[in-house]
């Protein structure tokens, strides 16, 4: 029975307090009545998150946590005591503990911080730490490769771009001259690895590269055309700022994608912009 993770368990028996779920080794955990459906019965499979409740009992919930074991997230501090702080991690009636020893210079109630969650080897409880370097780094083997689609979490902004956590394991950078939409600190999204340097620096883009990028952008343009009645006031002479505002892409990317759409006959150029070809809307 793995705490700190979402897993699919089988209903083993019914009790007055809820359903007892079991894993493949017949270890049981209680899913309290407040998460139980009347339609559920013995033998059904249920996807749950398993953790220790406020009375230190292992329990299951169907709520979706904001962080799981092995992940980095941007969580709000909701309380503090002499031992540490407590974070809202999306689980009712139970906050995530951030011990004093795991804090990076102290925390303030009401503010959000980037933390990594792990399962304590001794107690089995879920614990947060703000000291990310032991868990997020680019030392040794980098586990991502160019053109790979990855999960990122935006951590900080600098004059040249945004520093991000890649796949909860590495640090990466997205440069501002490659960004054509608003980016928020704490935002989690998908990105694409542009390159991994010899010193393990990871450069990323929010858009796919090469043909895949052009194809994806072409579909995005068609989608925007459909949402605007089949017409957009854009063309070769449009200002880069106008293209970025309307399509969240660069002028160069727009022109390459427009060329693909024109050659395939999906759009045509009209006097004041571009429009979808009749029958392909």
Q: Which domains does the chain have, with CATH numbers?
A: 6-61 (2.40.50.140), 72-133 (2.40.50.140), 149-205 (2.40.50.140), 210-276 (1.10.10.10)
- Residue position matching structure tokens 């340097």: 197
Q: What is the mean predicted confidence (pLDDT) over 200-212? A: 81
pLDDT band per the 50, 70, 90 thresholds, residue 278: low
Q: Residue 241: what pLDDT?
A: 87
- Which residues on neighbouring strands pair with residue 127, listed in sequence order? 97, 118
More confident residue, 272 or 213: 272
What percent of the chain is modeled with pLDDT above 70? 97
Q: Residue 134 has what DSSP assignment?
A: G
Length in residues, the chain:
281
Query: H or E segment at 98?
Result: strand 96-99
- Residue position matching structure tokens 């999960």: 151
Q: What is the mean predicted confidence (pLDDT) over 115-132? A: 95
Q: Which whole-number Å values give the CA distances from 108 to 9, 75, 76, 82, 153, in the listed order?
A: 38, 12, 9, 13, 22
Q: Residue 25: what pLDDT?
A: 93
Q: Residue 126: what pLDDT?
A: 96
77 near 111, Cβ under 8 Å?
yes
pLDDT band per the 50, 70, 90 thresholds, residue 210: low
User: What is the distance between the alpha carbons of residues 145 and 176, in angstroms, rounded to a whole number?
Assistant: 21
Could you give the angle at which helices 210-227 and 251-263 cross, rounded to 10 degrees? 80
Average pLDDT, the chain: 91
Q: Is pLDDT above 90 for 236?
A: no
Segment among 82-91, 161-170, 224-233, 258-267 with least mean pLDDT: 258-267
């Amino acid at each position: 029975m793995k705490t700190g993770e979402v897993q699919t368990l089988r209903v083993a028996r019914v009790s007055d307090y809820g359903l007892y779920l079991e894993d493949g080794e017949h270890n049981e955990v209680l899913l309290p009545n407040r998460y139980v459906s009347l339609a559920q019965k013995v033998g059904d499979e249920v996807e749950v998150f398993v953790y220790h409740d406020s009375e230190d009992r292992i329990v299951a919930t169907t709520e979706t946590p904001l962080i799981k074991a092995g992940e980095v997230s941007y969580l709000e501090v909701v309380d503090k005591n002499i031992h540490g702080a407590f974070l809202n991690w999306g689980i009712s009636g139970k906050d995530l503990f951030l011990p004093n020893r795991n804090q990076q210079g102290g925390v303030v109630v009401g503010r959000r911080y980037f933390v990594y969650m792990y399962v304590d080897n001794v107690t089995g409880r879920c614990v947060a730490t703000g000291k990310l370097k032991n868990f997020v780094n680019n030392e040794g083997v980098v586990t991502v490769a160019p053109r790979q689609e990855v999960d990122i979490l935006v951590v900080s902004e600098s004059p040249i771009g945004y520093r991000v956590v890649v796949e909860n394991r590495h640090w990466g950078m997205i440069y501002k001259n490659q960004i054509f939409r608003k980016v928020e600190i704490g935002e989690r999204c998908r990105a694409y690895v542009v390159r991994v340097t010899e010193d393990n620096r990871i450069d990323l883009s929010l858009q796919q590269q090469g043909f895949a990028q052009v194809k994806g952008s072409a579909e995005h343009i068609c989608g925007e055309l459909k949402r605007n009645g089949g017409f957009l006031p854009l063309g070769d002479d449009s200002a880069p700022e106008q293209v970025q505002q309307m399509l969240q892409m660069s002028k160069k990317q727009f022109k390459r994608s427009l060329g693909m759409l024109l050659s395939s006959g999906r759009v045509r150029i009209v006097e004041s912009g571009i429009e979808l070809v009749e029958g392909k809307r």
